[in-house]
A and B are shown apart, each in its own frame.
Chain A
């Protein structure tokens, strides 16, 4: 960890990216995927739309163009096939409004540069997320804007060997705002309520929750990395009822992206939001002040906490719920301190 220099790390990233993407695409383009994936990566280093759909039927139709030209043809044709499906509406969404194709091809490609180049996220312990079946990832929440949730989604999506999709639970404010709610639903997020969480977990999805909520994301800079109260611990009883393991997750680096030195309660009440952040740059520099600081992030997934051993009625036992909540909270807090000690600097 101590000698995690930037350049070898980026090098490593592009390689893992190249080998992970064909894996995710396995469902769509069976044999061609790995060939296309490597060709695309070698042909265009740093090109971000490398994840256009590749379900090209006549994939071997143009051997003349060589590996590079063939890769391009296929990519363009794949892009057009994608465009065609989009404009004619021939794609599927699930009952939560999750649009897997759009998420994989567009939304993730837009977030990936931020994830790889800006915050240089390092992921540890990805193997703690089970390859199949439901799991509840419980994470700390910070950073004024919920960028940590989005980065967590990219981290699971790009690093997990089974290419699992994280379904985040978001606050109701997200679903009241225009545009934001549309994108959130399409990216697979849903309202943080026990009904939705349980429905997703029973379907065998990986669900991400940040139980600190607004208390965590909107806390002042002085209280960084101090976990707030974990709601009422509803997430534990949901995991228990669905019989899925809880994976604690610690995110380091998100606290410093917007150092919140003040909170204008009047403006917050006026705008109907839970807090109105004042950072050294934010209202003063206008939109420029809303650019997050380029901190270096680490996301660590901890050992899963099994809920299988408890009887069904245990979900009704408040004492047990509080104990389990504290156990999860302490594990996240402990890992946070450990990661902070290991960190060399906020930005590197």
Chain B
């Protein structure tokens, strides 16, 4: 088995995890830079997938399964957007070209993203794998992913004997998450788009590693692991809920102002606040996971809310921790009633700011 993108957190975890699988003899981890973390017994090969050298690696080790994880929104270390785009698009082209020449390859797993759907107000509320996007992403990572998927479809047509599995992951989050959205949620004050409350879906890192294992092995009974699948945790969180659960205040800005703030943040390299991310934070995106459950036979351990809770725990308290806010409300409830009990119904205008006598 050959795994690309092994220098990344997620690639490293998958390499370590898949070695324990009894069906896997040998794991070859590939990346352009040496990983900062251990890879267990896996053999690490320094190779840039943008170079044709990758074909030699494939042939040398007579690889039967290729897991392509080197499709990411963020550069590893210090690379600009150009490097990322080259790795995503040119790297995929080279890798697929190499796979096409390698008769030993039987299975290909590609990490994709639900970014391919874009997000627009005219889209249906829930995307299925077959929903065509109403407006194609015009640039950035989303466009990379659309192009990568296009090349993968072409490869699947040319090599019908190879089982191809494309996994479209929702926003990956977890204690060690390393994605633009995780960076955004780590900001002390979250800039949001005024008048919009996007619906977000998350998938936990552990589930990502597990589902990659399911996709790269032999399919289980009654399941099929070739095709395109949306991978996301159950349920939906609104951005307002996320900010309250994290305890980070939001700063609603008008849409043009958000673009400026995004540019400013990008200039100071605090976070990759790209136009597509702003669109996600405006309109949100929810995908259907019926295919993942019924065809792929994978059931994530973490729901969207649980994934987010794990992430929030790893982040530490924000400026307005939910516990403190909750306690403030409790204190309001615990304050003794201003007058006697009979006084209460007289003050009708006060509404729910009226302190209640029953201690909670």
Residue numbers of A with Cβ under 8 A of B are 43-44, 47, 49, 52, 58, 61-62, 64-66, 68-69, 72-73, 76-77, 79-84, 87-97, 99, 172, 175-182, 185-186, 190-191, 193, 195-196, 199
Q: Which of B199, B323, B348, B358 contacts A93 (CB 8 A)?
A: B199
| Distance of B195 from chain A, by nearest CB (Å) | 2
Mask of B314-332 contacts with A, CB within 8 angstroms, 1/0? 0000000011011001101
Of all chain B residues, which has the CB nearest A59? B358
Residues of the A chain whose Cβ atoms lie less than 8 Å from the Cβ of B360: 77, 80-81
Closest 5 CB pairs of A and B: A178-B195, A89-B244, A79-B352, A175-B121, A179-B195
Mask of B282-323 contacts with A, CB within 8 angstroms, 1/0? 011010000000000000000000000000000000000011
| Known contacts A80-B332, A89-B240, A199-B126, A181 near B121 by CB under 8 Å | yes
Stretch in B37-45, B58-66, B154-162, B337-345 with 4+ CB within 8 Å of A = B337-345
Residues of the B chain whose Cβ atoms lie less than 8 Å from the Cβ of A47: 348
Interface membership of B47, Cβ < 8 A = no
Of all chain A residues, which has the CB nearest B235? A92
Mask of B218-242 contacts with A, CB within 8 angstroms, 1/0? 0000000000000000011110111
Asked if B358 contacts A73 (CB within 8 A), the reply is: yes
Of all chain A residues, which has the CB nearest B347? A72
| Known contacts A61-B358, A84-B329, A195-B131, A89 near B126 by CB under 8 Å | no
Residues of the A chain whose Cβ atoms lie less than 8 Å from the Cβ of B243: 89
| Distance of A44 from chain B, by nearest CB (Å) | 7
Q: Is the interface of B mostly helix, strand, loop or mixed?
A: mixed
| Distance of B309 from chain A, by nearest CB (Å) | 11
Asked if A87 contacts B124 (CB within 8 A), the reply is: no
Asked if B122 contacts A191 (CB within 8 A), the reply is: yes
Mask of B114-145 contacts with A, CB within 8 angstroms, 1/0? 00000001111110100100000000000000
Asked if A178 contacts B322 (CB within 8 A), the reply is: no
Asked if B322 contacts A89 (CB within 8 A), the reply is: yes
Asked if A191 contacts B124 (CB within 8 A), the reply is: yes
Interface membership of B255, Cβ < 8 A = yes
Residues of the B chain whose Cβ atoms lie less than 8 Å from the Cβ of A94: 236
| Known contacts A69-B345, A88-B245, A95 near B125 by CB under 8 Å | yes
Asked if A43 contacts B122 (CB within 8 A), the reply is: no
In the bound assembly, the distance between CA atoms of A133 and B352 in angstroms comes to 36
Of all chain B residues, which has the CB nearest A79? B352
Of all chain B residues, which has the CB nearest A83? B329
Asked if B345 contacts A72 (CB within 8 A), the reply is: yes
In the bound assembly, the distance between CA atoms of A233 and B352 in angstroms comes to 47
Asked if A172 contacts B122 (CB within 8 A), the reply is: yes
Asked if B195 contacts A77 (CB within 8 A), the reply is: no
| Known contacts A96-B125, A178-B196, A83 near B358 by CB under 8 Å | no
Residues of the A chain whose Cβ atoms lie less than 8 Å from the Cβ of B193: 178
Q: Which of B123, B195, B245, B355 contacts A89 (CB 8 A)?
A: B245
Q: Given contact pairs A47-B348, A80-B330, A80-B356, enumerate 8 new A-B contacts (beta carbons under 8 Å).
A: A44-B348, A65-B341, A73-B358, A79-B351, A84-B330, A172-B121, A175-B121, A191-B121
Interface membership of B354, Cβ < 8 A = yes
| Known contacts A93-B199, A181-B196, A87 near B342 by CB under 8 Å | no
Of all chain B residues, which has the CB nearest A84? B329
Asked if B235 contacts A178 (CB within 8 A), the reply is: no
Asked if A193 contacts B124 (CB within 8 A), the reply is: yes
| Distance of A93 from chain B, by nearest CB (Å) | 6
Asked if B197 contacts A80 (CB within 8 A), the reply is: no
Of all chain B residues, which has the CB nearest A87? B325
Asked if B236 contacts A93 (CB within 8 A), the reply is: yes
Residues of the B chain whose Cβ atoms lie less than 8 Å from the Cβ of A172: 121-122
Interface membership of B357, Cβ < 8 A = yes
Residues of the B chain whose Cβ atoms lie less than 8 Å from the Cβ of A193: 124
Asked if A178 contacts B121 (CB within 8 A), the reply is: no
Q: Which of B126, B332, B341 contacts A95 (CB 8 A)?
A: B126
